[in-house]
Amino acid sequence: MTTNSNPNPGPKEESPAGATPVLSVKVSASAPAGATAVGEFAYSDRLGAIEGVTKAAVQRGGFEGKPGSVLVIADGDRVRVLCGLGAEADAGAPELRKAVAAFTRAVSRHRKAAISLPEGVLGLGQVPMAGVMAEAAMLANYSFVQLRSDGDAAPRLNGLTIVTDGDLRASRVEVTRATAVAEAVCFARDMVNAPGGSLTPERFAEHAVERASGAGLSVEVLDADAIAEARLGGILAVNKGSSHPPRLVKLTYEPSPEALAGLEGPPATVALVGKGITFDSGGLSIKPADSMVGMKMDMGGAAAVIAAICALPALGVPVRVVSFTPMTDNMTGPDAQRPGDVYTARNGTTVEVINTDAEGRLILGEALVLASEVEPDAIVDVATLTGACMVALGERIAGLMSNDDALCERVRHAAQEAGERVWPLPLPEDYASQLDSDVADVKNIGTRYGGTLTAGLFLKRFVASGIPWAHLDIAGPGMGNEVDGVNPKGGTGFGVRTLCRLLADWHDAGAGGDVSADAD
């Protein structure tokens, strides 16, 4: 493995990634004088009880208090914004996120705004609410404008004050943590939104190294020669049609003594793996033109993993984490792999490539082998893997597969708490026969039915026996076709919040291996 703080990406070219400004959020006991928009919350079953607003005025504005709805009322030098939370008995964190996101967009032309904490949100105290609101506002305020000739074409809020009569110090700590997560999501969005012709594997690795070094993580980068030396056959096979050499980035987070305070025994080790296909043409099994549009997002899993692990120092996470993110595009160059070609993976498995457009699992398999070799207590991979998952779950829900029920439940719970939707899917062993090859150990694709499940079964072959593993297929929610709550149109950064929550809540002692182990 090549250890390198500079992956030598060659001459710099224009790149939009990593430049999105982030909303500044503060906590105070009162709204600042400079705030020209002030928000407060309204329940659909209490519209007649809003102080200073008549029910008739609410009705004239067509405001029903539904989650995500707003009513803007002129109020002297300021505007007053009512934010719907739905019925009081049903309001929770999802409704609060929608309301804050709608407020943020409604006041986007104001430089500074303030919003009060609501009362009666189920299961949330004032301190956690401050964090949820800060994160939602920052995510909703995101806009990718780096490639516009007129600069920042979309108006954005610059500063938001959350007004509370609760514990200011604790709320500020919570907002600081929320800021770290939101900034990580915005970084992942920037990576996904960058054009595939600009965010090449070399450039993607450079951005990862820069962010990880700034976060204090240890960094190792494999270039093409090191990937070949490490016998990562799946990465080399996919990269054969490309004019850009591949990379594999390994990042390691070691928790500080302060983060480990109170932990009995050594910290657990969790390995993360992310798919980094910087553009997917389908290879020689080429995609139709319409299906190729948007395939710059096929590195969304790697972006989520890199963003999440780089946020861990700020969150004080009490677990060792090591990440592996293979990076290549999938193109149709003169030496591109052909349907029927066979390669040998690092663990000795021979793979017949029936369809070159089922390439993500090839590079993920190699990274899962590397992740297994550090003997972690668990592995979680994130990938924009299958269109079949979108057929099953639509565009807003990720598929979750696992070889371990306890880990599956951990990931599901973390996603729910973080505000990202996932749905558990099975890994039926009798489907594995679809991957039987006539000439090799396994082929890379099964029949047209159950494609998400057979993709998961393919990945499972590369996870060492006895290691709990979970797979998130984010093909749907990784890229949005329209604004949805805190998510913009375009890259969503899906998976970052789930991983951060999963790892922040992971307080188990562990017996994982040496996360500094070399790949070769």
Residues serving a catalytic function are 287, 361
Please write down the HEC assignment for all residues of 256-304: CCCCCCCCCCCECEEEEEECEEEEECCCCCCCCHHHHCCHHHHHHHHHH
> Of the candidates 376, 268, 253, 232, which has an alpha carbon nearest to the alpha carbon of residue 307?
253
Q: How far is CA 509 from CA 46, 174, 269, 320, 376, in A?
A: 47, 25, 9, 10, 12
Phi, psi of 479 (to 5 degrees): -140, 125
Q: Is there a contact between 399 and 473 (Cβ–Cβ < 8 Å)?
A: yes
Work out the number of other CB atoms within 10 angstroms of the CB of residue 207: 22
Helix residue ranges per DSSP H, 3-162? 55-60, 93-106, 126-140
Across the chain, how many H-helices and E-strands are there?
14, 20
CA distance 454 to 131: 39
Q: Is 429 helix (H, G, I), strand (E, B) or coil?
A: helix
CA distance 199 to 123: 42
Provide the terminal-to-terminal Cα distance of the chain, rounded to the nearest Å: 6
CA distance 498 to 321: 15
- Measured torsion, CA atoms of residues 280, 282, 284, 286, in degrees rounded to the nearest 10: -120
Strands of 164-268, DSSP E:
218-222, 247-253
Q: Is 138 helix (H, G, I), strand (E, B) or coil?
A: helix
Please write down the HEC assignment for all residues of 292-331: HCCHHHHHHHHHHHHHHHHHHHHHCCCCEEEEEEEEEEEC
- 442 pairs with which residues across the strands? 351
CA angle 242, 248, 253 (to 5 degrees): 155
- Measured torsion, CA atoms of residues 479, 420, 314, 91, in degrees rounded to the nearest 10: 130
Cβ partners under 8 Å of residue 503, min gap 6: 270, 308, 312, 315, 317, 319, 321
CA distance 216 to 313: 8
